[in-house]
Amino acid sequence: MRVGQFEIDMPDPPLRDPHCIAMLQPWVNVGNVGSIVLGRLTKLFDGVEIGRLDRPSEFYDFTRYRPQIVAKGKERSVNVPNTVVSACRRDGPPDLLLLHILEPHIRAEDFNDSVLRVLKALGAVRYVLVGGMYDSVPHSRPLPVTGSARNWEVPESLGDIHLGSSTYQGPTSLTSQLTSIASEQVGLETMNLMVHLPLYLKLDDDFSGAARLLSALSSMYGLKDDFPEFKLGEKQYSQVTPAMANNPQLAGLVEKFEREFDERLAKQQPETIAESDVSVGLAPDIEAFLSKLESGSLGDRDYPTAGGV
């Protein structure tokens, strides 16, 4: 069935009051956290792909998102980058829609419209965007998770996750505006959840960040909080502290972030909310710091201030 620019295999029977869990790549997917979360949910609920863009070249520049040749035995095929929709049936409602969004290069308004049509056709009642951003936070403390929620009352079981309004100003993605559009124009319940990752690690796969998001979703959907990502994340981060023994500059930076983190916690003043409008790049002063750190030319005055991302 054609829905907007998507070709969708409508589930039979229909999904029950589905909630859409979405990730936006590459804009708010640093540490690959959104991809890891959706991958875990797919495995947990035996998710099945039900749709993708019929002609992805309508939105993507394939000199920037390169198709990949894949070989399986003697068979070779071309894997074309795309936005993919999967369905997960749970023991009880709500069922889940998993939306792997690949940010479009052109016609973003038409892309957003097609996504909203898909959500409406599948009967979605909630849209949750998960992702990650770099920040001046230490790996030795619980990673902060911030965000916002609209059109529904968030349960207190989310614990130390801080929700509020955004004060972000700067570059954004038109596709990240799907959250506000779904809330204001379509009336869906919406939420953004962003985990703040240590800017000095830059892990390709940050399992600690993914674990923090999975923990939040576990509270919302009654999932067992024992995913492999927790142990993988602990193992990753446990290797950082010993490595600092031979790197006094990095150790000094982490101590600075720990001190500021503890001070904010004592004052109970959580980080400013970034919603989905967060840059996946680093501020110039942070980039300069990391360059000097790698070259060994760092001085005391080169330390960046917290909140520079």
- Record the pTM: 0.85
- Burial of 122-146, coded b for 16+ CB within 10 Å and e otherwise, reads bebbbbbbbbbbbbbbbbeeebbbb
Confidence class for position 161, pLDDT limits 50, 70, 90: confident
If you average pLDDT over residues 121-129, what whole number do you get?
97
Q: What separation in angstroms does the CA of 6 have from each of 9, 34, 78, 114, 278?
A: 10, 22, 19, 7, 27
If you average pLDDT over residues 200-224, what whole number do you get?
93
Confidence class for position 254, pLDDT limits 50, 70, 90: very high
**Quick one: pLDDT at residue 18?**
98
Residue 258 CB-half CA count within 13 A: 10
Q: Is the pLDDT of residue 57 over 50?
A: yes
If you average pLDDT over residues 63-80, what whole number do you get?
92
**Quick one: pLDDT at residue 241?**
86
- Residue scoring higher pLDDT (41 or 278): 41
CA–CA distance, 137 with 54 (Å, rounded to integer): 41
Q: Is the pLDDT of residue 298 over 50?
A: no
**Quick one: pLDDT at residue 224?**
82
CA–CA distance, 272 with 269 (Å, rounded to integer): 9
Confidence class for position 156, pLDDT limits 50, 70, 90: confident
**Quick one: pLDDT at residue 257?**
93
Radius of gyration of the chain (CA): 20
Burial of 167 (C-beta count, 10 Å sphere; 0-12/13-18/19+): exposed
Asked if 128 contacts 22 with a C-beta cutoff of 8 angstroms, the reply is: yes
Q: Where are the alpha helices (DSSP H) in the chain?
A: 33-44, 108-121, 178-184, 207-221, 228-238, 240-243, 248-267, 284-295
Confidence class for position 103, pLDDT limits 50, 70, 90: very high
CA–CA distance, 293 with 135 (Å, rounded to integer): 17
CA–CA distance, 271 with 116 (Å, rounded to integer): 31
What pairs with residue 150 in β-bridges?
190
**Quick one: pLDDT at residue 160?**
77
If you average pLDDT over residues 90-107, what whole number do you get?
97
CATH class held by domain 2-229+271-280? alpha beta
Choose the weakest-confidence range: 21-30, 149-158, 296-305: 296-305
